[in-house]
């Protein structure tokens, strides 16, 4: 056994025999070198993907196409129209004495709904007519709008003191303004 593992030479008495054995040539192989190289090149150029990948993908997409075509050909059923009464919520101005109440109006009947829609359509037609008139004749044709008359509100001293959070009576007292007395001019030295 050698001391080091990389010093693995056979014992000297076997070295000559090993060399003699090495002189023996292995039997010739019945393989064509060119054929082997050709087969190796063919294998190297072959695609790496598995052979069933593309056929299975093609089949899958064909099946999807068939299903979608079936959906396209099949006539769709006529849509069912169903009328449903809807609840109308009416908000009533509350009075001081009463608690806020929401009155739920009874559901509109079909006749009421039709009349309500008629009113809306009439308003819409009126708006459209007015817009057409304005576009045609200009804004001068519109009636003059009278601004609402607003009465100016007077603020009392008490309210002002309350807003500013100052003691009462601050703005009610008037201190008479006394004119400043001018000192007499000293006589000029002549």
Partner 1 sequence: MDPDHLGYLIDRYLTALVLYARQWCNAPEDVAQEAFIKLAQQAEPPMHPVAWLYRVVRNGAISQARSERRRTNHEGRVAADARLWFTPSEEVFGLDAQAATDALQRLPLELREIIVAHLWGGLTFEQIADLTGGSSATCWRRYAAGLKMLRQEMGLPCPNAKTT
Catalog residues that contact partner 1 under the rule CB under 8 A: 1-2, 5, 8, 10-11, 13-14, 16-18, 20-31, 33, 36-37, 39-41, 43-44, 46, 48
Q: Which residues pair with 90 in a beta bridge?
A: 103
Rg (CA), the chain: 55
Whether the Cβ atoms of residue 36 and residue 42 lie closer than 8 Å to each other: no
158 three-state secondary structure: helix
The residue (of 27 and 165) whose beta carbon lies closer to partner 1 is 27
In eight-state DSSP terms, residue 155 is P
The residue (of 2 and 107) whose beta carbon lies closer to partner 1 is 2
Q: How far is the CB of 75 from partner 1 (least distance, A)?
A: 55
The residue (of 14 and 60) whose beta carbon lies closer to partner 1 is 14
Q: How far is the CB of 33 from partner 1 (least distance, A)?
A: 6
The residue (of 17 and 171) whose beta carbon lies closer to partner 1 is 17
Q: How far is the CB of 27 from partner 1 (least distance, A)?
A: 6
C-alpha distances (whole Å) from 40 to each of 30, 33, 48, 109 are: 17, 10, 14, 87
The residue (of 7 and 119) whose beta carbon lies closer to partner 1 is 7
Q: How far is the CB of 48 from partner 1 (least distance, A)?
A: 8
> Can you tell me the distance from the alpha carbon of 70 to that of 64, in angstroms, rounded to the nearest whole number?
10
Q: How far is the CB of 42 from partner 1 (least distance, A)?
A: 9
The residue (of 50 and 111) whose beta carbon lies closer to partner 1 is 50
Whether the Cβ atoms of residue 92 and residue 103 lie closer than 8 Å to each other: yes
- In 74-118, at which residue ranges do the beta strands (DSSP E only) sit? 88-91, 102-105
Q: How far is the CB of 55 from partner 1 (least distance, A)?
A: 22
C-alpha distances (whole Å) from 129 to each of 101, 133, 139 are: 39, 6, 14
């Amino acid at each position: 056994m050698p001391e080091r593992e990389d010093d693995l030479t056979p014992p000297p008495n076997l070295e000559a025999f090993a060399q003699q054995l090495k002189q023996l040539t292995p039997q010739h192989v019945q393989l064509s070198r060119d054929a082997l190289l050709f087969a190796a090149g063919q294998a190297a150029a072959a695609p790496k993907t598995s052979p069933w990948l593309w056929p299975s993908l093609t089949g899958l997409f064909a099946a999807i196409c068939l299903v979608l075509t079936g959906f396209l050909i099949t006539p769709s059923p006529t849509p069912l129209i169903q009328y449903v009464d809807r609840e109308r919520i009416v908000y009533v101005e509350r009075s001081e004495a009463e608690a806020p109440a929401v009155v739920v109006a009874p559901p509109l009947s079909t006749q009421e709904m039709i009349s309500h829609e008629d009113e809306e359509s009439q308003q819409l037609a009126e708006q459209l007519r007015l817009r057409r008139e304005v576009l045609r004749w200009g804004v001068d044709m519109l009636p003059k709008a009278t601004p609402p008359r607003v009465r100016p509100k007077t603020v009392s001293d008490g309210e002002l003191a309350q807003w500013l959070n100052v003691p009462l009576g601050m703005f009610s007292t008037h201190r008479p303004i006394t004119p400043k007395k001018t000192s007499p001019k000293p006589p000029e030295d002549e």
